[in-house]
């Protein structure tokens, strides 16, 4: 079987082009109205700095305004909450993104809860999670939204398909399962206590791997022709070259002969997460103006 490699970079580029056109139109129709994203980074985690930089570049590419708020690692929870309150009240800010993880002295959930749900472009606020799970208008979490778009690139009708989500985090696994259910899949969720993961994989038409374990899902577990979406981003050292590289949660080379379609790492889900963040920021702007 020749597997289709789903090119997340190309799909994300197409989405950003479409968003840029919509932003242009919004500016023309509404007196220069420009969506604005505020990105908050606390501390100096190098990976977070890269993510924040990429989000800023993506904002520029679609014509958004973006502001960065870089705070020292010693920032207190009250100081961060004060900044969130200020951004909530700022009409020039349509989306607020607080880069996670936060330093351990800060309660992440309290910070997420403090963001105005209408500006919660990460889709992590309990109001958005609740609305999304019962099918009301909401800002949905970016990574699972991106995965849905990639699945629909290769399969439009998901009705009745058996989907397996490996991982049950609040930001990926749980909302992913809820989106697949909404698309009429029969959904199974696996986690670290799942008894026989290979057996679960063997039954799935669609597998979403989001467990954060390098190359954990083996090729031989996968049903012939399955669609495999690899969310994992794991930095490992290549044994042959000694160089550091990114790998997913699926043993890609092993999986290739079995799958119908698969996302690579890097270049699969990662670019889609940022494209969906841009999409959410535009949607948030429309919602705040009563247009969505
Ligand atoms: P979490 O660590 O929050 O959750 C991991 C989940 O995997 C948990 O539910 C855990 O189960 C489950 N798990 C761990 N080990 C196993 C196992 N052996 N078998 C079955 N399930 C297992 O991770 P996230 O959801 O935040 O992220 C998952 C991966 O996705 C990471 O590699 C992360 O870097 C990546 N990621 C990528 C993004 C992108 O844009 N591409 C965005 C977000 C994340 P339990 O609940 O029982 O502990």
Q: What is the pLDDT of residues 257-290, one digit of tens each?
A: 999 999 999 999 999 999 999 999 999 999 999 9
Task: Dump pLDDT digits (tens) for 38-69.
Answer: 999 999 999 999 999 999 999 999 999 999 99
Task: Dump pLDDT digits (tens) for 160-179.
Answer: 999 999 999 999 999 999 99
Task: Give kind and range of the element (H or E) at residue 175.
Answer: helix 173-182
Per-residue confidence band for 9, with pLDDT thresholds at 50, 70 and 90: very high
This prediction's pTM: 0.97
Mutate which of 101, 212, 216 for ligand 1? The one with the most ligand atoms within 8 Å of its CB, which is: 212
Residue among 55, 161, 223, 283 flagged as catalytic:
55
Residue listed under structure tokens 């799909």: 11
| Residue 261, SS3 per DSSP | strand
pLDDT at 292: 83
Task: Transcribe 37-97 into DSSP letters.
Answer: EEEEEES--HHHHHHHHHHHHHHHHHT-EEEEEEE-TT--HHHHHHHHHHHHH-TT--EEE
Longest dimension (CA), the chain: 58
| Contacts (Cβ under 8 Å, ≥6 apart) of 113 | 125, 126
Indicate whether residue 210 lines ligand 1 (CB < 6 A). yes
Q: Ligand 1 centroid vs 212 CA: distance in angstroms?
A: 4
pLDDT at 2: 87
pLDDT at 283: 98
Indicate whether residue 27 lines ligand 1 (CB < 6 A). no
Average pLDDT over residues 78-85: 98
Q: Ligand 1 centroid vs 37 CA: distance in angstroms?
A: 27
Task: Find, among 159, 124, 156, the residue nearest to 139 by Cα.
Answer: 124
Q: Ligand 1 centroid vs 164 CA: distance in angstroms?
A: 14
- Look up 16 and say whether it is catalytic: no
- Look up 99 and say whether it is catalytic: yes
Task: Find, among 145, 103, 131, the residue nearest to 271 by Cα.
Answer: 145
Q: Ligand 1 centroid vs 86 CA: distance in angstroms?
A: 33
- Residue 193 CA: nearest ligand 1 atom is 47
- Look up 245 and say whether it is catalytic: no
- Residue 269 CA: nearest ligand 1 atom is 41
Task: Find, among 106, 107, 81, 77, the residue nearest to 96 by Cα.
Answer: 81
Residue listed under structure tokens 């609040």: 170
Indicate whether residue 233 lines ligand 1 (CB < 6 A). yes
Indicate whether residue 52 lines ligand 1 (CB < 6 A). no
- Residue 194 CA: nearest ligand 1 atom is 20
């Amino acid at each position: 079987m020749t597997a289709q490699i789903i090119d997340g970079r190309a799909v994300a580029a197409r989405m950003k082009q479409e968003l840029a056109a919509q932003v242009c139109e919004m500016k023309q129709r509404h007196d220069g109205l420009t969506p604005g994203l505020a990105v908050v980074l606390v501390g100096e985690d190098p990976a977070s700095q890269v993510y924040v930089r990429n989000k800023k570049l993506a904002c520029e590419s679609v014509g958004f305004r973006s502001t960065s708020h870089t705070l020292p690692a010693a920032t207190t929870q009250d100081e961060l909450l004060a900044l969130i309150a200020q951004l909530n009240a700022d009409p020039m800010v349509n989306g607020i993104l607080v880069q996670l993880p936060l330093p351990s002295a800060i309660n992440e959930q309290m910070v997420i809860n403090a963001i105005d749900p209408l500006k919660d472009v990460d889709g992590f606020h309990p109001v958005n999670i609740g609305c999304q799970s019962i099918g009301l208008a909401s800002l949905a979490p970016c990574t699972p939204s991106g995965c849905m778009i990639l699945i629909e690139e290769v399969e439009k009708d998901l009705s009745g398909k058996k989907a397996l989500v490996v991982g049950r985090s609040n930001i990926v696994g749980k909302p992913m399962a809820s989106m697949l259910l909404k698309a009429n899949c029969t959904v199974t969720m696996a986690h670290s206590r799942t008894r026989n993961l290979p057996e679960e994989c063997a039954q799935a038409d669609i597998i979403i791997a989001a467990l954060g374990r390098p190359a954990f899902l083996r090729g031989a577990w996968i049903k012939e022709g399955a669609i495999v979406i690899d969310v994992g981003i794991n930095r490992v050292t290549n044994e042959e070259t000694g160089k550091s590289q990114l790998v997913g949660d699926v043993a890609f080379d092993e999986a290739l002969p079995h799958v119908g379609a698969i996302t690579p790492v890097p270049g699969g889900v990662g670019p889609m997460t940022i494209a969906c963040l841009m999409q959410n920021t535009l949607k948030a702007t429309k919602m705040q103006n009563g247009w969505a």
